[in-house]
Structure 1
């Protein structure tokens, strides 16, 4: 290949992959978009723009728990121990001030559309397991769709959330590429955000 051909190919691939990265950060995580980005190159921007403009973060399903007077606390659940610890910490810190707690997990748009991959039942199983460990509390469970930060903020705005609680999420390359959920929430949320980190069982660091 000549230098010109290599340059054209490089521009084609970089344009397509960058367009794919933007789409993935907007809530599409399926690997097939990477293939499309490589094949379409710069044209991927047009295709992906149409795709993303049709999307909007939303509540897929909600299982109502107990509701009482007091604060509505939204806890982001991603399957990590830190996320579950966030729920326990919220109850421990606020105690009787919590009138309603919602445990929410987020799936991407592609997972929502693909009913055959089993990801949605797995998300509900995770929520049910976390809820069971919160007894005697009876939190609401919510399955959200979209980019995690956008989906959590949209739910908070629509359901009168007073406090969002999350654990630290993302590390290394995944955090740099996809963005940190807790950082996005802290910088964009109109309501207070509590980020719960560390492992109390591990004790203080030397």
Structure 2
């Protein structure tokens, strides 16, 4: 009986280490469910190879020009993911800053693995949500961007490279994203070099 207990403890520890490694990878932009399977099977082995597998540089996947640019104004980036909070961020950007922006950019971030083969349709879904956001803005959104990587890092890197003046994001994301991937708004405020405005969950009266 004692031997069986030791075996069960060893198996549990093996799987737990693998799952923790998969979670660590998800926080760094690798969200394919196959990593959970690999974590359960390979356990500590995955922990050893994960640092070499994880990509460290967020990148742009797709860009769509959707509206005009107005020279001389602010360059504003809005994080979009289809949640009520991200729609509130978009409404805040268009309603409060729309007339004063040179370019209003809507961006959604997908995982690195989805970027490689779009295994779950994330890229297609992101493009669809961004198109809806552009329509919702009434022509204020100048371009839509699909980025790949950890959400906060991808938005911060894009903002730095494109000389964005202000990032606007919702307080929380969709579903389990806060628990699994962390709070994007908090990470941007804590680590970013670009000013961040965090919107609540209220939407336009027309949405009620």
- TM over 0.5, shorter chain: yes
Matched, 1:28 2:34: no
Q: Residues 8-47 of structure 1 correspond to what in structure 2 (within 5 A)?
A: 8-47=10-49
Q: For residue 113 of structure 1, what is the aligned residue in structure 2?
A: 116
Q: How many residues align?
A: 201
Question: Structure 1: 5+ residue runs without aligned partners?
Answer: none
Q: Residues 1-206 of structure 1 correspond to what in structure 2 (within 5 A)?
A: 2-52=4-54, 54-64=55-65, 65-67=67-69, 68-115=71-118, 117-170=120-173, 174-199=177-202
1:3 positional shift: 2.6
Question: Which is further off, 176-185 or 140-149?
Answer: 176-185
Separation in 2, partners of 1:128, 1:196: 21
1:183 positional shift: 1.2
Question: Structure 2: 5+ residue runs without aligned partners?
Answer: none
Q: 3-state SS of the aligned residue for 2:163?
A: coil
Separation in 2, partners of 1:73, 1:2: 59
1:95 positional shift: 4.4
Question: Which is further off, 92-101 or 26-35?
Answer: 92-101
Separation in 2, partners of 1:38, 1:166: 35
- Structure 1: 4+ residue segments shifted above 6 A: none
Task: Return closer, same or farther for 1:78/1:44 CA change in 2, 3 Å cut-off.
Answer: same
1:30 positional shift: 1.3
Separation in 1, partners of 2:30, 2:99: 39
Q: 3-state SS of the aligned residue for 1:139?
A: strand
Separation in 1, partners of 2:98, 2:112: 35
TM-score (norm 2): 0.88
